[in-house]
Amino acid sequence: MYYYRIFDDKDELNFFKSSFEYSKIQELIKEYEKTNQEYVNPDFIGFLKKQDSEAEIIEVTNIYY
């Protein structure tokens, strides 16, 4: 699995995991941009899940000790 962070048009930061390498994610982002005027992370992840069933937004929590 690969882990990524992504910002959308609403300045929302999310992290997601995917079985795709970075180059494939870049290709899919370009494809997504062709059909979408606004970039919202949950929408992109929904688009990505059609190609990669393992893709999902993940929650990242800081740990202090």
The per-residue pLDDT for range 1-55, each reduced to its tens digit, is: 999 999 888 888 899 999 999 999 999 999 999 999 888 899 999 999 999 999 9
**Residue 51 in tokens:** 């190609």
pTM above 0.85, yes or no: no
Count of helices and strands (H, E) across the chain: 2, 3
Strands (E), the chain: 2-7, 13-18, 56-58
